[in-house]
Structure 1
Amino acid sequence: MTTSALHELLRQAAPLAADMSISDVADRLLTAEQRAFLSLPVVDAQRRPLGLVSRYTLQDIFMQRFGRDLWGRRPVRDVMNATPLLVSIDWSLEQAAQQVTAQLKYPITEDFILVDGEGAYLGLGTVLDLLKAMEARIDQRNRVLRKALVDLKESQAQLVQSEKMASLGQMVAGVAHELNTPLGYVRNNIELIREQLLPLLQLAETQGQLVDCLNDPGAGQARLGEALALAEQALGEAPLEQLLGDLDQLFGDTAYGLGQIGELVGGLKDFARLDRAKSEEVDLNECVKSALLIARNSIKDKAEIVRQLGELPRVACAPSQINQVLLNLFTNAAQAMERFGHIHVKTWADEAAVFISVQDNGKGMPADVMARIFDPFFTTKPPGQGTGLGLSISYKIIQDHGGSIRVASEPGRGTRFLIRLPRVQASELKRSA
């Protein structure tokens, strides 16, 4: 803060000499120039403050019987407050407020004296003006803080969106890889079906030509014999029983491949759907299955999934957000594997809450890393391979659902995350993104 703030509070009030009579001081206080002050300063010859005399003190004196006669001619030094509130003009507004409030007595009967760097009298300041200035300063800071909060929330939203886009890229890559296998043999089956259908089409064509000859009265024996020979040849090249068996198998395999594609597309749709409402009743086992389907490509070469999914009640949640949390935990577990391992996913419920446990037998974490695992931007991954926001966002999502997420880990043995979500939400869910 600059000293100009206290300069704006400075009010000029002519100081009193210590030997000025009390009656003269009382008359001075009644003038229009002094109406704004609760007190007047008393200074020495070097303009150093000696004290303050207040209206309250003089009023108390003159209210006494014969008070003016007894005290009127006495010097003001006899009734002044010799320990007035002194504030340096060089202080900040906050320092002045701290000094005044620390020494202020109630009811407020005096002003405070403003002095220069050498302690000489400059003028008076009123407590009301100081409080108004502090209120204005606080309002200004509140405006700055509110703007900073808005900027922070915008930055947080951008970071959350960035993390979501990174997760989306990971999902798209995994799903694309998973789609390639069924797409590949569906494509191959279609080529085989086309090859298998060619003899049947040839047979249909030659039989059609034979029928035309039989229906044509002008067809000679030679033409009829040629059409019959071609039909018999086509029939020999198209063994119907074998072809029908092969086609039935090809159609079955194709239908299975299309079913796998449909399952992946449906899982992706369920995983990434926009919530139609802030919350809906969901079976969290479905969220687990959906997230495991999307994460399958990231997990399959690193760990075996062991599922132990109990019967769960439907709970109110934002399913796409829960899916995001689970995908993060599953992919982190896979990345923690130094050799092929196991990821144990377990769900259960009690009377108050639903629980999801994700446990791996990967490399684990030391205590100092585990203590910071939910901190924003904290990551143990190499630069460019992680934002450090995944677990932080997951923590916020679960917290906004009224739940908790805890972690236990031991180097060399693995890590376990435990999610707890209440069966009944205490209040309306907040959106974390």
Structure 2
Amino acid sequence: MEVVPALGRLLRRVEPLQAQVSISDVADRLLRPEHTAVLSLPVVDADGRPLGLVSRSTLQDIFMQRFGRDLWGRKPVSEVMNPAPLVVSLDTSLEEAARQITAQLQSPIRDDFVLVDEQGLYQGLGTVLDLLKAMEHRVAQRNRVLRKALVDLKESQTQLVQSEKMASLGQMVAGVAHELNTPLGYVKNNVQLLRELTRPLLELADAQAALGDCLADPACAEDDLARALEEAGRLRELAAPELLAEDLEQLFADTGYGLQQIGELVVGLKDFARLDRAMSEEIDLNDCIRSALVIARNSIKDKAEVHQQLGELPRIACAPSQINQVLLNLLTNAAQAMEGFGRIQVKSWSENGQVLISVQDNGCGMPREVLERIFDPFYTTKPVGQGTGLGLSISFKIIQDHGGNIRVVSEPGRGTRFLISLPCSGAEELKRSA
């Protein structure tokens, strides 16, 4: 903070008056060009300590009177000065000086203020106008600093939100990859089995083709025909095609089921991300719930059993990818709250022009002090490195931007319930969450 230099720039080196100087001399001195910017002149004692200020306004009132100069001109200035001037020390900050002066300033402004040193000796005058300009400059300077700080804060917030999204994306991709590995694994095994089972059939087909060629060739020797017939019979016994039919049918069915699961995951991932859909569209929120459950399946399946109670919902305008992000966060949090194998209940219904979604678990629950801060940015109860503390804060902002609200109730040992409500009419303007 600037101290002496700040007020020093406001200092006007005005020669002080002695108390015995006549009023007429003071009036003449105020007419000098070097004093045009000041409202008053200082009066000091022999030691240089301020005694008061005599203002232009006071002298004007005197000389405007009939015979005012004749009656008052020879009197000492001490009789008409303001004996209680505004005195400010040079080592006072701009802000403190402004506070002191505005606390004592009267309207209309008739006097300037006196600047003194540490010993209380007169150093010069300061004008209220100069002080206001200095404060305006200081405010403008601080506004620039605040604007830069705000820009930096927004950039940091954007980076943190993006970091949280990437963390969620990484978790989601890991879960989907794990879910894809299971059906891919047995599809691959089935293909290998099919290759092993069909190899004898291909060899039998080759032997039967050779036998057919021999039978069709008049020049084929009886020994060659016998060998071809024997080889075809041997491979027929090895292949046992009549026994393969049931095995092949089962393999094809299992492979088809695995491919169907992979297809469902791909469709679920596409619906979850809504990469090919509009930013805002009218959708059934039950579709969002189903998509989020597909993506969260790997995180949930070893932790809890999910019960769905989805009611018939009106279509509402929203940003589906953002709603999916909220639901995924609530579902994974519910799974992580389980101390053993638990239960997650997801319900949806509509009433009073609102669409409501409830995500409830029977996990460890939260105490009141945690519950009160659950939506605060960067607040997390997870170990260092396992959570950013932004998931629920971002979720709260997303629902708020949609014109809805999200509430939570929890009790230690009994579980937690989040309730999302969104207006059926949709928010007037969906704000994209950074």
Distance (whole Å) between structure 2 residues aligned to residue 81 and residue 150 of structure 1: 49
**Percentage identity across aligned positions?**
73
Q: Deviations over 1:247-295 (max 9, x none)?
A: 2332221111011112122222333455865433332222211221121
1:53–1:79 Cα contact (<8 Å) kept: yes
| Residue number in structure 2 paired with 1:359 | 360
The DSSP-based 3-state class of the residue aligned with 2:345 is strand
| Residue number in structure 1 paired with 2:120 | 119
The DSSP-based 3-state class of the residue aligned with 2:421 is strand
1:395–1:405 Cα contact (<8 Å) kept: yes
Distance (whole Å) between structure 2 residues aligned to residue 386 and residue 78 of structure 1: 76
Matches within 5 A, 1:50-69: 50-69=51-70
Length-normalised TM-score, structure 2: 0.93
Q: Deviations over 1:200-257 (max 9, x none)?
A: 3123212322332344343334434443444444445445454344323322211110
Deviation larger for 115-124 or 71-80: 71-80
Distance (whole Å) between structure 2 residues aligned to residue 43 and residue 425 of structure 1: 73
Deviation larger for 243-252 or 35-44: 243-252
The DSSP-based 3-state class of the residue aligned with 1:243 is helix
Distance (whole Å) between structure 1 residues aligned to residue 351 and residue 30 of structure 2: 78
> What's the CA shift for 1:160?
2.1
Distance (whole Å) between structure 2 residues aligned to residue 118 and residue 403 of structure 1: 64
| Residue number in structure 1 paired with 2:255 | 254
Matches within 5 A, 1:5-44: 5-44=6-45
1:278–1:429 Cα contact (<8 Å) kept: no
Distance (whole Å) between structure 2 residues aligned to residue 190 and residue 214 of structure 1: 35
Deviation larger for 287-296 or 316-325: 316-325
The DSSP-based 3-state class of the residue aligned with 2:382 is coil
2:401–2:427 Cα contact (<8 Å) kept: no
| Residue number in structure 2 paired with 1:373 | 374
Q: Deviations over 1:75-128 (max 9, x none)?
A: 222222222221111110000111111222222222111111222211111111
Matches within 5 A, 1:393-404: 393-404=394-405
Distance (whole Å) between structure 2 residues aligned to residue 112 and residue 353 of structure 1: 64
| Residue number in structure 1 paired with 2:170 | 169
Deviation larger for 149-158 or 361-370: 149-158
Q: Deviations over 1:102-155 (max 9, x none)?
A: 222222222111111222211111111111111111122122222222222222
1:376–1:392 Cα contact (<8 Å) kept: yes
Matches within 5 A, 1:102-113: 102-113=103-114
Deviation larger for 85-94 or 165-174: 165-174
The DSSP-based 3-state class of the residue aligned with 2:65 is coil
Please list every run of at least 4 consecutive aligned residues from structure 1 whose deviation after the TM superposition is greater than 6 angstroms. none
Query: What residue identity is the alignment partner of 1:161?
Result: Q
| Residue number in structure 1 paired with 2:150 | 149
1:22–1:72 Cα contact (<8 Å) kept: yes
| Residue number in structure 2 paired with 1:220 | 221
1:275–1:320 Cα contact (<8 Å) kept: no
The DSSP-based 3-state class of the residue aligned with 1:312 is coil
Unaligned runs of 5+ in 2: none
What RMSD in Å do the two structures reach over aligned CA positions? 2.2
Query: What residue identity is the alignment partner of 2:7?
Result: L
| Residue number in structure 2 paired with 1:90 | 91
**Does residue 188 of the first structure (1) align with residue 218 of the second (2)?**
no
Q: 1:72 to 1:424 in 2, by over 3 A?
A: farther
Deviation larger for 29-38 or 156-165: 156-165
Q: 1:36 to 1:303 in 2, by over 3 A?
A: same
Distance (whole Å) between structure 1 residues aligned to residue 372 and residue 103 of structure 2: 42
Deviation larger for 31-40 or 334-343: 334-343
Matches within 5 A, 1:279-318: 279-318=280-319
2:279–2:320 Cα contact (<8 Å) kept: no
Distance (whole Å) between structure 2 residues aligned to residue 58 and residue 69 of structure 1: 13
| Residue number in structure 1 paired with 2:338 | 337
> What's the CA shift for 1:412?
1.4
**Does residue 412 of the first structure (1) align with residue 413 of the second (2)?**
yes
Length-normalised TM-score, structure 1: 0.93
| Residue number in structure 2 paired with 1:387 | 388
Distance (whole Å) between structure 2 residues aligned to residue 199 and residue 298 of structure 1: 43
Distance (whole Å) between structure 2 residues aligned to residue 167 and residue 68 of structure 1: 87
1:333–1:360 Cα contact (<8 Å) kept: yes
Distance (whole Å) between structure 2 residues aligned to residue 131 and residue 359 of structure 1: 59
**Does residue 71 of the first structure (1) align with residue 72 of the second (2)?**
yes
Query: What residue identity is the alignment partner of 1:167?
Result: S
> What's the CA shift for 1:346?
0.9
The DSSP-based 3-state class of the residue aligned with 2:265 is helix
Distance (whole Å) between structure 2 residues aligned to residue 426 and residue 305 of structure 1: 30
> What's the CA shift for 1:351?
4.1
Distance (whole Å) between structure 2 residues aligned to residue 171 and residue 129 of structure 1: 62
Distance (whole Å) between structure 1 residues aligned to residue 154 and residue 133 of structure 2: 31
Distance (whole Å) between structure 2 residues aligned to residue 241 and residue 61 of structure 1: 132
Distance (whole Å) between structure 1 residues aligned to residue 280 and residue 51 of structure 2: 71
> What's the CA shift for 1:66?
2.7
Deviation larger for 81-90 or 315-324: 315-324
How many residue pairs get aligned? The number is 433
Deviation larger for 143-152 or 340-349: 143-152
Query: What residue identity is the alignment partner of 2:339?
Result: E
Distance (whole Å) between structure 1 residues aligned to residue 11 and residue 433 of structure 2: 50
